[in-house]
A and B are shown apart, each in its own frame.
Chain A
């Protein structure tokens, strides 16, 4: 069983709308959680990192939240743009062991 579960698997939204992606994990002991963005045909690029003591962190229109008690994280995208179309991958680290979620495929349509 994958220790990092992402939902939804895919999502289609209209340009300008907001959306929220979810990541639930059972990885332990928790070190940090990163959200990566992967454009089609490219390698993943880190958007944000969350450590145990952080509840929320923003990177432009991207805001990540972390609830270490419930072991849940979310990535909120505000005022979506066509360039946000990509896969978003949640990666949770336990010590030096990194666990990858399957990703959420986001499509932003004009």
Chain B
């Protein structure tokens, strides 16, 4: 498997523009996560899906952010309108559910999408 695939790797846009980040999880993984990483705040969970259903979106900063997972092999994170403070690296990660306490599966991360909003 090629691992978690994210696109684009780099995105530079102007304030007010719409940004769409894309993610293809590892085949067979039933959990998908979107994270944002900044120097100040480290890795922050934005939202995660289980079997394509959003489970927890409490980390989504505001209504300008939205995420979808129309099928098991694709997810998008959209920012509209974008602002300079949205500049960060956005990671998608997936994992396989492991039954039983203490058996949470390993998170596999993509290479990230570096977003710069001017």
Partners in one complex: yes
Is the pair B4, A95 in contact by a Cβ cutoff of 8 Å?
no
The 0/1 profile, CB within 8 Å of B marked 1, for residues 92-109 of chain A is 010110101111000000
| Contacts A43-B111, A43-B112 given; does A89 touch B43 at CB 8 Å | yes
Kindly state the interface size class of chain B when it binds its partner. Answer: 10 to 19
Is B34 engaged at the interface, CB distance under 8 Å to the other chain? Answer: no
Complex contacts, B42 vs chain A, CB 8 Å: 89, 100-103
Is the pair A46, B107 in contact by a Cβ cutoff of 8 Å?
yes
Most buried by A among B93, B101, B110: B101
Is A51 engaged at the interface, CB distance under 8 Å to the other chain? Answer: yes
Complex contacts, B106 vs chain A, CB 8 Å: 34, 46, 49
Give the residue of B45, B101, B109 whose beta carbon is less than 8 angstroms from that of A43. Answer: B109
Is the pair A31, B101 in contact by a Cβ cutoff of 8 Å?
yes
Shortest Cβ distance from residue B39 to the other chain A in the assembled complex, whole angstroms: 10
Shortest Cβ distance from residue B118 to the other chain A in the assembled complex, whole angstroms: 20
Is the pair A44, B109 in contact by a Cβ cutoff of 8 Å?
yes
Complex contacts, B107 vs chain A, CB 8 Å: 34, 36, 44, 46, 91, 98
Number of interface residues, chain A, beta carbon within 8 A: 23
Is the pair B4, A32 in contact by a Cβ cutoff of 8 Å?
no
- Can you list 25 A-B contacts (CB < 8 A)? A31-B102, A31-B103, A31-B104, A32-B103, A34-B106, A36-B107, A41-B112, A43-B91, A43-B109, A43-B110, A43-B111, A43-B112, A44-B91, A44-B107, A45-B109, A46-B106, A46-B107, A52-B102, A89-B42, A93-B104, A96-B104, A98-B107, A100-B45, A101-B42, A103-B42
B positions within 8 Å CB-CB of A: 4, 42-43, 45, 91, 93, 101-104, 106-107, 109-112
A positions within 8 Å CB-CB of B: 31-32, 34, 36, 41-46, 49, 51-52, 89, 91, 93, 95-96, 98, 100-103
